[in-house]
Amino acid sequence: MTDARSRLIVALDLPGRAEALDAVGQLAGRVGCFKLGLEIFVREGPGLVEEVLRRGERVFLDLKLHDIPNTVAGAVRSAGRLGVHMLTLHASGGRRMLEAARDAATSMSPPPILLAVTALTSLSEEETRSIGITESVAAWVERLAGVACDAGVTGLVASPLEVTGLRRQYGDRLKIVTPGIRAAGAEAQDQSRTAGPGQAILSGADYLVVGRPILRAPDPGAAADLIVGQIEDALRARAPY
């Protein structure tokens, strides 16, 4: 698999097991990883994770864990035993929670990559103010990223609009996974902070999460290949950091 292909993660935000496995069948070998989120995991359970893994594909389990440290550590161990490649948790859970998750992950072989979610890409400045965040979204993201980095978490989830600042601050110390990817002219839908694939990679994203632009395309495989090509072009043009 090419480096560009390995950086594309497809979000299987689909009604159920049959649709998810059909998408995996269409896209196997053309993308780097498949993301299973909260909705489909609650509906289908660990069995779907195991089925995708049996097909030789990587799984990004996007549950955004946020609980007391002991509970989150246990959930990380459970996910690790399933064999997931990536796992999310909220940076806003605080340093002790993040450290407990880190310790649980590093006790396993191979350890799942832990990704701390900073600010959800659906949040606008108006919404963050309504929940008591007085600083800008970018400043809030950078503060949460600092907590995650200090706790030894492997990487971050951040929108395309915050990637440049995070990369400038942390260099290659953290992997950055970026959702909110939309082609030029596409509807943002429920995302507030979006960018195109090339722009996100040029800004410093390591991995891109794409769902509807691929899954709702007339030919999902061709749509994935197009995005991979844009990633490849951006990687060639990107300055080292």
Q: Kindly name the residue from 5, 17, 64, 95 that is annotated as catalytic.
A: 64
Range of the structural domain that residue 34 is part of:
3-237
pLDDT of residue 190: 45
Question: Which burial class, exposed, middle or buried, applies to 240 when counting CB atoms under 10 A from its CB (0-12, 13-18, 19+)?
Answer: exposed
Count of domains for the chain: 1
Q: Where are the beta strands (DSSP E) in the chain?
A: 8-11, 33-37, 59-65, 86-90, 113-117, 155-157, 175-178, 207-210
Structure tokens that stand for 35 in this block: 């993301």
The segments of the chain whose pLDDT lies below 70 read 1, 182-195, 241
What does the pLDDT look like over 81-138, one tens digit per residue?
999 999 999 999 999 999 999 999 999 999 999 999 988 877 888 898 898 888 988 8
pLDDT of residue 241: 66
Question: Which burial class, exposed, middle or buried, applies to 8 when counting CB atoms under 10 A from its CB (0-12, 13-18, 19+)?
Answer: buried
Q: Is 35 a catalytic residue?
A: no
pLDDT of residue 160: 80
Query: Any idea what the CATH number is for the domain that residue 33 is in?
Result: 3.20.20.70
